[in-house]
Structures are given as structure tokens and as C-alpha cells.
Structure 1
Amino acid sequence: MSDGFIRWYRESAATSVFAEQAEVFEKYGIMLRHPVRGAAVVLDVEGDDVLVPEEELGRLLGLRIAPVTMNWWLSADTDVTDQYVYEPLGCEIQTLWLDGLYPDEARRVEAAVVAAAAALDVPTRAVIVDRRGVSDPDDWDPITLYDGEEVPPVPDSVIVQGRIAEKILRAAPHLASQDLPDGLRRLTPA
């Protein structure tokens, strides 16, 4: 089983692209609505499930007033917890926790996030894929959000905008680099 996370930083759009993201995820068999309970599941402050209609969840996320923690569903018994946060610097951050997933499930979530990053009109700043949890998600904020120079331990894959990639490569020149569309680069341990 996997233990780790995917952290997705993207520019904040004038309108939410959450519905479009859900459509992309659905193509990978990752559903917003619980297969049995028939509604989206949001976690309250105590970690209890709260069922909400998909439209209401989209509206809450579109308000951008508070973090929202919710679940995506691979099956009725297998979920991915997603913490959705808006930063004051105009960036949306999603942290999808891979804890408890089998490697093939974690790869499916990764593929869905990468596909959504490519498909959505909102530019992506970074996608950090750390299946083993070698870094902490918050460790990536300084270099991604605040022009920091310190580079956390590089996990399985880092997809970042070119200027961020250059900083990481200066600190870790041994990484393999691959150019991607939209000015992004994938960095991986060589």
C-alpha cells in the first residue's frame, strides 16, 4: 500500500474549474459522488462525513472562503482525501493523500491529476508527486509560492513551471528533466 501525497498548485481562476476537474477525474474512475451514498462527502472539523450535493460542494469551493476537505472515490470502500485550500497569493492548492492506496490506485490518482493539470484552462504552478512521503507537503510552499530557494527532498516526480524548475535544478543538478507543454517541466530522480 502507498503512503504519500500529491500536492497540486494552480493559479486561482476567476471562476472555479472544479466541475471540469471532476469530469477529468471521472475518466480515470475517480468519482466525486460516493457510489452507494449518492452524494459528495465533505469531512467536518472532527473528521466525520457530511453528505452534500455535488453542486453545493462546487458552490462552497467557488466561494473560496475557507479550506474544504473532501473525498474522491475509487470504489465504495476506497477513497482519496483531498484538502482544498486557497492561498492569499492567488493560488489554489489541493493535497490528495495517497495513504492506504495500492500502488496501481496511487498511479491512477497521479494520472488523473496530471491529466487535469493539462486539460484545465487554469495554469498549474506545480504538481508534487510523493508516493512514499519522503517530504512534507508544506515543505514545497516556500519554493512554489514565495520564491524560496530551499529545495525539499525530491520525491517521485515534480512537475513545475520553468522558473521553479531552474531553482530546483540548481540545488539538485542530478535530477532528470523533461519539457512538458505549457512551460512545465517534469523533474525526477535520475
Structure 2
Amino acid sequence: MKSWVVGADLGGTKIRLGLVGPDDRIVAVRQIPTRAEAGPADVVARIGDAVDELARTMPADGKIAGMGICSPGPVDHETGTIIDPPNIQGLHHTPLRQLLEERLGVPVALEHDAKAAALGDYYFGAGRGERSMVYIVVGTGVGAAIILDGQLYRGAHNSAGEIGHTTLDRHGDRCSCGSRGCVETYLSGPWLA
């Protein structure tokens, strides 16, 4: 059997999933709404259904060997838990890795979305060949990742790069997190559009 993997990006409004073949090419993509307000069980069930749909596109000798999924932070990559994401209100303290492993029956890796994107850029994109870099992600929220001397820097509490709710103007517009004047109120996709 040939091993295939699924990669997924869990965002504030949508989840994009891709099936990667043994030749490291993305061969099929699905997109589903996040609908986090429905809770973890619903999100995991819909991700599982999308993975099942992707699996049906594989040849008969294919087998899904694992999944990597990224999520807005903060994320505890060691326990596979989404901690307290301001832009995904229904998934606070969700052991996503465990829930997906139970649903899919394969190993799952969970990483912070900005950190996953930074690693991809570091190894395969514009960051290739650099020793250190900062990577900034702008979407439903704003996040960053730092690579120092070839190593992903996580910080003391896994919070390095959590810049979206840094206050720029304490009298500024109200942010989705409840504070005022956060970076996200000026630079995130919903505020820029």
C-alpha cells in the first residue's frame, strides 16, 4: 500500500483540506465551513467526513497514513490542544489531536497556523536558505512565527508570535476578544475588507 497524508488548515471561517500523494503532490482539495459555534464534536465530524471524501479519490492501493492540521493560536502542540483562540469561539480548550485521531484512526499532528506556515516557507519558500526569519499571517486574525538559527521559537508559554491581540490604541475600536485597539482591529482580513 502507498501512504497518503491529509493536510488541513482550520480557520475562523473555513477549513481547507488537501490530500497529498506519495509523490508529495496535492491531488485533491476540499473546503468546508468552520462553524465552530456548533462545538468540537460537530467540527471533528465534518472534518472526518471531508477526509473520508478525500480518501475515496485515492487509488485502491492507497492508505491515509496520517494528518497534519493547523489552527489559530494559542495551540499546545505537545498535547494537541487548541487553547483559547479568540476567533474560533466554540473550540476553546479542545483536544483536537485526540478527537481527530479517534475519528480517523491515524496519527494527527496539530500546529499553530502561523508556525506551520513559517516552517513551510522556511523549508520550501522564500525563507529557504535563511537562518532566521519572522513570518506574519493575516487572515481572520493576525499571527506570527519566529525562526531563530534554524529552530522554531515557541516562547516560554508557547505564545511567541501571538501578536494579534497586542494593543495598538487603548481607545481604539472594540476587538472580537473584547479589548480595544488590538492589532487585529486594524490589520486582519475582516477589518481590511
Question: Common fold, TM-score beyond 0.5?
Answer: no
Higher Cα radius of gyration? 2
Larger relative contact order (C-alpha < 8 A, sep ≥ 6)? 1
Question: TM-score, normalised on structure 1?
Answer: 0.30
Normalising to structure 2: TM-score of the pair?
Answer: 0.30
The structure whose residues are more often helix, as a share, is 1
